[in-house]
Structure 1
Amino acid sequence: MRLVSLLGCLLCITSFTYSQTVIYTQDFSNGFPSDYTQETSASDGGWNAGYASSLQSQYFPIEDQGSGQLIATNDDDCGQGCDKSNDFLKTDTIDLSSYTGTKIFLRFDKFYYDAEYQNDQEQATVEISTDGGNSWTIVKDVDGGAWARESIDISSYGGQQIRIGFRYNDRGGFLFGWAIDNILVEVPTDYDIKLDSLFAPSSHKISNNPISMDATITNNGGETITSFDINYVVDGDTTTDNISNVSIDPLSNDNFTIPSGFSPSSTGEYDVTAFPSNINGNPDQEPSNDIETANILVYDTSYQRKPLYEVFTSSTCNPCQPGNENFENIMSNYPGDAVTVKFQQDFPGNGDPYATDESVDRRQNFYGVNAVPNMQIDGGWDGNANAFTASLHENAADRPAFVKIDAEYKVWPDSQQQKVEVCYEIQSKMWGTMGSRNFTMYSKNGSRVQIKQ
């Protein structure tokens, strides 16, 4: 382990410039490419080019990457009964005849749920043809998620003329869709680590030093990685650890624990910046994808947290019932350990007798939720109650709390007077390290008391 200045390390990762060999690229900036073709039985024409705002719909809200036009097929917008069982987008011929015995990667941005609805499961595949489009071979069954960069090794097609196809299949259901942007075929640089994530606790009790941190990387280069350095920066000081005796093939991932745990000397908030370097003894040739950050609150005293769970559901939503049952079954093992508020909604169908204007307003205007079931954990998880787990609850409850509130409610039968007594304690030491904070209490009748730090 060694300590060096942040400036010195940044010079190490930015002093070298390399470039991959670009064979083919398409960003749809000019709309639907004139040399592309497609097959479709859909009434909306299948794949369409445009901006995210014009291609999205209520249940397939394509996030705007800010990169201009893209191309997408939207099953939700096409409507019930629309046949998108074979929306097949095809490039023109791409010449790989000059690239034999070298790595060739296909990369593109994807926005795809890979979701199921009413027992129908959508599918997205990437396919390649070497005979002008007469026959096709699947090279990737695409996984779901928000916008992400997909990379596929197509080196075996070197020396040939190929076409690339993107096939969406709703399998006869009423599902969501698939959006694509920034297609690239390239000969990659030899040494390129993409730091996918840095896992560090959001809070840490100082008596439990050191802080353990984990990371996930992808080998985005063309050579197998056998060793590399992982660096992390805190308060201007950089700690470097060497990771060796590994074998990470091109486009493969690796998870590891950073050997040198971080041991803060005092409480407060710490920003951690991590980046890889020294790949097989060589500089990282693409430093733009190297950096990940984390923020850690270090404390010495806290209270036990009771997480707030807000569950958005509806009696007209088929997946909502199993979501509610899953949540209740899990929380039955933690009686009194959380605060739960359920908000009935007036969609996807009409007629939920428990939906109110207030519950709909909470969903639409506070959280911007446009689908149910939905669940918020302390105002931030934004997940599905069907995916709620005991570990999610335990992680939420393990977060430190620096305010303790006890309340007692009284009603006098004769006068019908009501009284609420609220007692609170604040860990003033930690409150001060967290910057300016407001502490506000609201009563049910709308009056409020505000205490400003």
Structure 2
Amino acid sequence: MRKILLFILAFLYASLIFAQSNVYIVQENFDETTLPSGWVTMGNGVNNWYVSTSNIAGGKPNEAQLKWTPPFNGVSRLVSPSVDLSDVSSAVMTLKHYPSFFGANQAVVGVATSSDNGTTWNSVWSEQYNTNGQYTILETIESPDFGKDNVMFCIYFEGNSSAISDWYFDDFEVYTVESLGVELTSIDVPSIVNHGEHGISFTVRNTGSSKIESLKVRYIIDGETYEQTFNTDIPSMEYQQLTFEDKYLMQPDDSYNLQVKIITVNGEYDDEADNSLSVDIVSALGYTQMIPMIEHFSSSTCGPCVNVNYQMAALTDNHEGQYTYTKYTTNGPGLGDPYYTAEGGTRMTYYNVMGVPQTFLNSVDQGNAAVTEENFMNAFESPAYADVRGTYTIESNTINITADFMSYFDMENVRAFVTVNEKTTTENASSNGETEFHHVMMKMLENAEGNVMNINAGEYQRLEFSYDMSSTFVEEMDDLEVALWLQNYDTKEIYNSHYAYENSEHCHSVKDLLAIVGGDAPPTLYLSWNKPENGTPVGYDVYVDGELMADNLNDTYYSNEDEDICYNAKTAEVVAVYEDGKTSVGVAMIIVRDTNVEETTCGNISVYPNPANDVVKVSTVNGQQTTVMIYNVMGMLVETHYVRSATNEIEINVSDYNPGIYFFNVDGEVIKVIVD
């Protein structure tokens, strides 16, 4: 009887772990900086395959890239390691790709298999293309190689490589399909966010043949766990983004690890490893306007570059003051541009540029085309968690530059780039018919690899250069511009950029910012700061949590005595304003609560009685989880409470506490409590 019972229990458990185990034969997202381990190239164009930092094919950065050069005519293959398909008769194949053609041309791409180490290839899917654009392939495939134990897959290009500039590929997957299957494909919370409440979103894909009607999902962050059951209607092979109802409050200048896991699908338990993801998140002090950085590789010997230059001129004319631009001249095609420099070559190597034209927007590869209006506005409207300002003056052939690079979160080993460009050049005209060129890079300071710096949250670092431009290709010294940007050299992410102000005194930042909340409830915010060490600002802009509270203020202090504003885990920032609307980088900090504030009615939180003997009552929002962390005067954590009250308050027993002062951190707001 006992054996029968154990068998029944085991059977029931096995039936709860649903048969969603889609077996991934190939699952490659090209997320590394080089070709994946075990992948090789075969056929023609074996040196034309790279991994690009772009996401042009429609996946997430990075992606595989086939370049046209060195030119070839034939079949070029990107080949996977061999896999055992002894028990496989058919599978599902998905692939995202983007062809970028030169003019009216066409070529074929496909997927093939081989069971004799690449001697013979059997195509399982192919198609001829002649139009630029994103394509997503979803096919059920069969091959004579299925059922064998040594099968390689390949993505292949067939044709003349001169027909294309590039061909991008991403998210190449081959797998068997069960009835019920789901994949957690991404956590859709940025790695850097502004502090405050954030929705937790994620994306799933139905990898089974049956419709997904419900998902139970859990997220864990900073020791807190949230679960929710989502009612869905996700057809086979489709994606859907979902968002938890419970938002999470992220504190300024803090970091978090967020984990998301699928628990059940259609009521059945999920034990698959690909249904749990985690990401690290930094919560910044604030944010500012993004000024997109355009990097453009071109040459006066390049015919296709002409049209891209015209399109880029039209784009920038429509967005004056909203971009920063540096154009690197290249040493090809042919003899290349007469103004080519080794520093431009270093940037070509950094971005794996093998041919021109090629444009990058905030380091994201735009291919051989101009930056589109849509892509530009998407970049411009995204938040920036760093700020850049600078000025320059010219004395004879020498340019003098001062530049400040500020961050709203702690940055380590970030690189600040400074280029001196000529706005318009003519003497580098060559064979493509163009007679003038714009934003042409003449010099990178200190060099093309940037300037390494560490920046604390709310602070800035300064660079100063003086350089004799007579050794460069400069045509007119009074026609220069200076481009500044801040970049993660490893990931290539650009945090922000700006042109330096021309022929101007430097816009120095304020010093010694102090931000305190004090007084009776509602509390009053007091800000004070000192004038910049140099410079003559005409006023100061004051921000609280990114909201402009006072503009062009003449005083070096600010208070909100006449305003009723809650200061729960907020930040303050002051920007010095100069003539003609020029501004410094800001100085920012977390607003400090004065320890003399005994009780707060800020927002929905209050703590009473204060002083207390036995019990402290903390107000809460009905039904929402509240985190209360209690510290003694030595800064030691006494205890932590995670509570979700059915009423509007909770009680905390302090009868065992030693008499003295304690600090209650209630969802990020710190209140001093005296225990008698």
Give the deviation of 1:345 after TM superposition: 0.7
Q: 1:89-128 counterparts in 2 under 5 A?
A: 105-107=91-93, 114-125=99-110
Match of 2:312, as an amino acid? F
Specify the alignment match of 1:43 in structure 2.
none
In the alignment, which of 207, 214, 217 is matched to residue 204 of structure 2?
217
For 2:297, the equivalent position in structure 1 comes to 312
Q: What corresponds to 2:393 in structure 1? A: 409
Relative to structure 1, the CA distance from residue 371 to residue 409 in structure 2 (aligned partners, 3 Å threshold; closer, same or farther) is same
- Choose the corresponding residue for 2:358, options 374, 391, 408: 374
Give the aligned partner of residue 240 of structure 2: 254
| Matches of 1:257 and 1:76, distance apart in 2 | 42
Q: CA RMSD in A?
A: 5.2
Deviations 1:198-226 (A, max 9, x none): 322454443xx432454332212233211
1:422 counterpart = 2:402: yes
Residues 247 and 405 of structure 1: CA distance in aligned 2, closer, same or farther (over 3 Å) = closer
Q: Per-residue deviation at 1:235?
A: 1.6
- Residues 200-211 of structure 1: pairs in structure 2 closer than 5 A: 200-206=189-195, 209-211=196-198
Q: 1:406 to 1:77 in 2, by over 3 A?
A: closer
Q: 1:193 to 1:167 in 2, by over 3 A?
A: closer
Find out whether 1:389 has 2:372 as its counterpart: yes
Evaluate the alpha carbon distance shift between residue 236 and residue 153 of structure 1 in structure 2; reply closer, same or farther with a 3 A threshold: farther
* Alignment partner, residue 34 of structure 2: none
Structure 2 match to 1:450: none
Matched residues in 2 for 1:401 and 1:180: separation?
Answer: 29
Structural mapping, 1:140-219, within 5 Å:
152-153=139-140, 170=158, 174=162, 175=164, 186=176, 188-206=177-195, 209-219=196-206
Pair 1:52 & 2:45 matched: no
Deviations 1:254-305 (A, max 9, x none): 23444433332444333433333311111224323542535343324x4434
Alignment of 1:270 with 2:256, yes or no, is yes
Question: Quick one: structure 1 residues 243 and 336, their matched pair in 2 at CA, closer, same or farther if it must change by over 3 Å?
Answer: same
1:243 aligns with 2:230: yes
1:443 equivalent to 2:430? Answer: no
Q: Is contact 2:204–2:241 with CA below 8 Å preserved after alignment? A: yes
Larger helix fraction of residues: 1
Q: Does 1:360 align with 2:345?
A: yes
Amino acid at match of 1:272: L
Equivalent residue number for residue 283 of structure 1: 269
**Structure-2 change in CA distance of 1:347 and 1:272 (3 Å):** farther
The question of whether the paired residues in 1 share the 8 Å contact of 2:255 and 2:281 is answered with yes
Say which SS state the counterpart of residue 443 (structure 1) adopts.
Answer: strand
* 2:215 match: 228
Distance 2:22 2:244 in 1: 33
Flag the structure with higher strand content. Answer: 2
AA paired with 1:280?
A: N
Distance in 2 separating the partners of 1:266 and 1:190? 45
**1: CA distance between counterparts of 2:168 and 2:360?**
26
Counterpart for residue 499 of structure 2: none
Give the secondary-structure state (helix, strand or coil) at the position aligned to 2:186.
strand
Whether the 8 Å contact between 1:203 and 1:400 is mirrored in structure 2 is no
Label 1:122 to 1:115 Cα distance change in 2 as closer, same or farther (>3 A). Answer: farther
User: How many aligned residue pairs are there?
Assistant: 362
SS in 2 for 1:306: coil
Native 8 Å contact 2:299 2:332 kept in 1:
yes
Contact preservation (8 Å) 2:206, 2:239: yes
Which residue identity does 1:268 align to in structure 2? D
Give the SS at the match of 1:359.
helix
Would the alpha carbon gap of residues 303 and 161 (structure 1) be closer, same or farther in structure 2, given more than 3 Å must change?
Answer: closer
Is contact 1:275-1:290 (8 Å) kept?
A: yes
| Structure 2: distance between partners of 1:263 and 1:58 | 49
SS in 1 for 2:212: coil
Aligned to 2:267, what secondary structure does the other structure show? coil
d(CA) in 2 for partners of 1:279 and 1:387?
A: 44
Quick one: which of 325, 328, 331 aligns to 1:340? 325
Contact preservation (8 Å) 1:18, 1:286: no
CA separation in 1, counterparts of 2:312 and 2:172?
40
Corresponding residue of 2:281: 295
Name stretches of at least 5 consecutive residues in structure 1 with no aligned partner. Answer: 1-14, 28-49, 64-73, 86-93, 129-135, 448-453
Percent identical residues = 18
TM-score of the pair, normalised by structure 2: 0.43
Larger CA Rg, structure 1 vs 2:
2
| Secondary structure of 1:355 counterpart | coil
Change (3 A) 1:392 1:259: farther
Give the drift of 1:311: 1.2
Quickly say closer, same or farther: Cα 1:227–1:319, change in 2 above 3 A.
Answer: farther
1:61 Cα deviation after fit:
2.8
Partner AA of 2:285 in structure 1 = Y
Conserved 8 A contact 1:121-1:173: no
The alignment partner of 1:347 has SS state of coil
Unaligned runs of 5+ in 2: 1-15, 28-37, 53-65, 77-84, 114-121, 413-453, 470-676
